[in-house]
């Protein structure tokens, strides 16, 4: 048997920035809810952590997971 290492696969690895456009049907939802819809491969817990770590700016500014997202017309 191969020994199991100490790798922590739940730790997020920094990657290149991604720009997301929020669709109109997401207007008024919380930022963590919008991110969960646009990035379903990640848990809402992880997405909220990224927001708290200031890794998810909104219009270039730090945001909170509970921020209500506004969609420009």
**17-23 contacts: CB < 8 A, separation 24 or more?**
22/69, 22/71, 23/71
Contact predicate 66/30, CB 8 Å: yes
The model's pTM is 0.73
With 70 as the cut, is the pLDDT of residue 64 above it?
Answer: yes
pLDDT in tens, 9-52: 555 555 788 889 999 999 999 999 999 999 999 998 999 899 99
HSE-CB for 16 with a 13 A CA cutoff: 1
**Calpha distance 14→67 (Å, rounded):** 23
């Amino acid at each position: 048997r191969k020994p199991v290492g100490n790798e922590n696969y739940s730790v997020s690895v920094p990657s290149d920035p991604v720009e997301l456009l929020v669709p109109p049907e997401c207007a008024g939802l919380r930022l963590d809810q919008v991110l969960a819809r646009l990035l379903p491969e990640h848990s809402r817990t992880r997405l909220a952590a990224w927001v708290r770590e200031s890794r998810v700016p909104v219009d270039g500014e730090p945001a909170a997971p509970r921020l209500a997202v506004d969609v420009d017309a």
